[in-house]
Amino acid sequence: MREGPKARKVLVEQRTTRIFRLISDNMIWFILLSSIVVFSLTVPGFFGARNFRNIIHHSVFIGLLAIAESYCLISGNFDLSIESVAGMGAILSAWLCGASVFASGLYVNPFVGLLIVTVIGAAVGFINGFFILRFKINPFLVTFSTYIIIRGLAVFLTGGRGVSRLPGSFRLVDTIKFLTLPLMVYIMLIFFMFFYFVLEKTRFGRHTFVIGGNINAAYNFGINVNRHLFRIFVLSGALSGFTGWLMAARAGGATPAMARGFLFETLAAVVIGGVSITGGFGSLTGVLAGVLLLSSMRSALNILAISPFITEVIRGLLVLAAIVLNSVKRTVGRK
Amino acid sequence: MDSTSKRKVILKIEKISKYFGSVVALNNASFEVYENEIIGLVGDNGAGKSTLLKILSGNFPPDKGEIYFEGRKVDFKSPVEARQMGIETVYQDLSLCENLDAISNLFIGREVYKNFLGFKVLQKREMESETLEVVNEIGIDIPSVKERIEFLSGGERQAISLSRFVAWGKKLALLDEPTAALGVKQTRKALDLITKIRKQRNIAIIVVSHNLQQIFKIVDRIIVLRHGEVVGIKEKQSTDPDEIVSLITGAIFINDNK
């Protein structure tokens, strides 16, 4: 009987922690929604179907790269080459399929082009995985090297010049619209759902979290760690190459500088979305919210014609706030 | 246990040696473990206990010597090979993923799944109810099996590590300091549990511990390591803590005071 009140107190404490955790786990969605409300009320022209369409359309590339980077980070790894691989995917597919002066003149079918750049992206992921896993070199260093190499190759391909005049069939993914949104938006959303399912509901996803949480435990209990991480690097490369193809489709052409700056944008979105840089934590729902938040912020600041330099400062502060928030979240309730 | 000679040998190690550079971690260690017996493996820090366990669990191979499990020579290339043969290890570092809950930790590498369109879909409910059963059997309270390990205390973590032995222990279990983080009451529960599981399953257990009092409570025989060598194999009835201590430290055993 003496334990009655104490037990009740424990129960109340548990309930408050649970509520706290429910809020903090979905904090990013609250922040996203409240930012949209604030921007809608204070920024003229922000609220409206057309601008919202733009925001989600703008989110496609960073969204897809963020999926790739989330898998890498959750497994305790890094892939800095995503940006270059996307840029390479854009210029290479434009070069293969385009009709302007600096194109290859091969007039490759756009969907064959899609296949080619995805496979080449996967090959870059394979090379990353090979050096990281076989030679046990730090993923940061390996993917930093491929980041530079691939960007260099992309510039070399066309001598630094852009390629345009892509066939209409290449652009279908952007010109076909359902409910006024281009097909590529749906592709991104389907990819998010699919990779969410894999991460949360399948053995592959669980092993990703196990490896990111304690790589020795993963080995001790029979998970084939190297094979698993290989697959993640290959996935990351393939997704990045595919993203590049989409970028070319959207722009109707490509320049070797495409996707420049996307790495930091992606990392920012992923971190804001709650993925831990040190591995083991994160969810794709949070990442999607992070991507949309950055995209809506960019839109609001654009409309207000605020200096892009200040935009960078604000984005940096947001990343810092997200990191602080996540570390606070993790220390609360810890014994 | 005077009838050990008639019982079946489950594990036999013969002249096992292991070197780390110029350091001799194990030197010609040999002993046998019988079915359904509990062995206490004792020794000072650096005596080679953990090295020996890691060889038996398949974490690394010996440099010399042979291991026979159930009469057959074995040569483990990884922990999973040892585990598949029925050797379950509870690691000293607990080998837990702090970012995951107790259910996930119990089922690392053994996730229950169903094939669905080529995907291995986790059967979370099944794993949860199995985890609850095991946790109940251990009798050490944890707040919730869905709580992430990082929010649990040291004792609760150790309980979850032990739950792997309860859930998966089949033929031979290697327990490295299984009670190091437990309180007095929890320790007693854990020791009771170890003897209970032994009785239920006909399993052999090797326990590494610094606590001789605990060792004497549950084991049948004690194997003493010093500087990588087996310096004593004693039936519990025919020895006492003083003798074991002197074997561990290498002090000459003087019986004058008694």
Residue written as tokens 């390629």? A163
Q: What is the ipTM for the molecules in this complex?
A: 0.88
> A234-238, A246-250, B154-158, B253-257: which has the minimum mean pLDDT?
B253-257
CATH number of the domain at A113, please.
1.10.3470
Q: Which tens digits make up the pLDDT trace of B164-195?
A: 988 988 899 999 998 888 888 888 888 988 99
User: What is the pLDDT at residue A1?
Assistant: 37
Report if residue A9 sits inside a domain. no
pLDDT given at position A61: 96
Q: Which of A12-21, B23-32, B140-149 has the lowest mean pLDDT?
A: A12-21
DSSP code string of A34-87: HHHHHHHHHSTTTSSHHHHHHHHHHHHHHHHHHHHHHHHHHTT---TTHHHHHH
Cα separation, A60 vs A293, whole angstroms = 13
| Beta strands B113-116 and B119-122, pairing class | antiparallel
Q: Tell me which of B100, B115, B163 to substitute to probe the interface with A (most A C-beta atoms closer than 10 Å).
A: B100
Q: Are strands B204-208 and B172-176 parallel, antiparallel or unpaired?
A: parallel
Note the pLDDT tens digit of each residue in A72-82: 999 999 999 99
pLDDT of residue A153: 93
Q: Name the residue among A213, A330, A333 with its Cβ closest to that of B97.
A: A213
pLDDT for the residue B257: 44
Is residue A310 in a domain? yes
Chain segment B18-33, per-residue pLDDT in tens? 999 888 899 999 999 9
The per-residue pLDDT for B119 is: 93
Residue for token digits 């009835």?
A: B237
Label residue A65 by pLDDT band (50, 70, 90): very high
* Mean pLDDT (whole number) for B28-50: 91
Q: What is the pLDDT of residue A3?
A: 44
Looking from the CA of B10 toward its CB, the CA atoms found within 13 Å total 20
Q: How many whole angstroms separate alpha carbon A250 and alpha carbon A236?
A: 21
**What does the alpha-carbon distance between residue A282 and residue A69 come to, in Å, rounded to a whole number?**
11
Residue B256 pLDDT grade (very low, low, confident, very high; cuts 50, 70, 90): very low
Which of these ranges, A64-68, A101-105, B122-126, B208-212, has the smallest mean pLDDT?
Answer: A101-105
Identify the band that residue A335 occupies on the pLDDT scale cut at 50, 70 and 90: very low
Q: How far apart are CA B192 and CA B214, in angstroms?
A: 11
- pLDDT, position A8: 59
Beta-carbon count within 10 A of B119 CB? 16
Residues in chain B within 8 Å Cβ distance of A197: 119
CATH architecture of B4-249: 3-Layer(aba) Sandwich (3.40)
Closest CA to B153 of B131, B182, B127: B182
Please give the mean pLDDT across all residues of chain A.
89
DSSP label at B30?
E
Taking the alpha carbons at both ends of chain B, their separation in whole angstroms is 26
pLDDT of residue A162 exceeding 90, the answer is no
Most B CBs within 10 Å, among A203, A209, A215, A276, to test the B interface = A203
Q: 10 Å Cβ neighbour count for A35?
A: 16
Query: Are B108 and A280 inside 8 Å of each other by CB?
Result: no
pLDDT over 90 (residue A305) = no
Distance (Å, rounded) from C-alpha A191 to C-alpha A63?
9
Q: What is the mean pLDDT of residues A167-189?
A: 92
Contact criterion met (CB < 8 Å) for A223 and B108? yes
Domain assignment of residue A247, yes or no: yes
**Each residue of A258-292: pLDDT tens digit?**
988 899 999 999 998 989 888 999 999 999 999 99
Say if A284 falls within a structural domain: yes
Q: How many domains does chain A have?
A: 1
Q: How far is B14 from chain A (nearest CA, A)?
A: 24
B100 and A213 in contact by Cβ < 8 A?
yes
- Are residues A245 and A93 in contact, defined by beta-carbon separation less than 8 angstroms? yes
Percent helix, strand and coil across chain A, each to the nearest 5: 75, 0, 25
Token digits of residue B24: 């001799």
Which chain A residue shows the shortest CA-CA distance from B98? A213
Q: Are B156 and B144 in contact (CB under 8 A)?
A: no
Distance CA A56, CA B201 (A): 59
Q: What is the percent of chain A with per-residue pLDDT over 90, rounded to a whole number?
A: 58
Query: What's the rounded Cα separation, in Å, for the pair B29 and B67?
Result: 11
pLDDT of residue A323: 79
B152 with A335: Cβ contact below 8 A: yes
Calculate ∠ Cα B18-B23-B26, nearest 5°: 30
Q: Which domain holds residue A236?
A: 29-329
The strand pairing partners of A1, in sequence order, are none
Helix (H) or strand (E) holding A188: helix A183-201
Q: Check residue A291 and give its pLDDT.
A: 95
- Residue A99 in domain: yes
| 3-class SS of residue A252 | coil
Sequence length of chain B is 258
Q: Which of A13, A200, A220 would best serve as a mutation to test chain B binding (most B beta carbons within 10 A)?
A: A220
Judge whether A12 lies within some domain.
no
How far is A73 from A229, CA to CA, in rounded Å? 11
pLDDT in tens, B59-109: 999 999 999 999 899 999 889 999 989 999 999 889 999 999 999 999 999
pTM: 0.89
Torsion of Cα atoms, B26 then B31 then B34 then B40, to 10°? -50
Q: Which of B59, B97, B113 sits opposite A203 (nearest CB)?
A: B113
Mean pLDDT across chain B: 88
CB A221 to CB B91 under 8 A? no
Q: Is the pLDDT of residue B55 over 90?
A: yes
CB-CB under 8 Å, A214 with B98: yes
3-state secondary structure of A244: helix
What is the rounded average pLDDT of the residues A289-313?
A: 87
Q: Are B108 and B163 in contact (CB under 8 A)?
A: no
**Structure-token pair, residue B18:** 């292991």
For the CA atoms of B250, B221, B10, B55, the dihedral, rounded to the nearest 10 degrees, stands at -30
**Residue A142: CB atoms within 10 Å:** 24
The angle subtended at Cα A42 by Cα A36 and Cα A47, nearest 5°, is: 50
B122 and A CB contact within 8 Å? yes
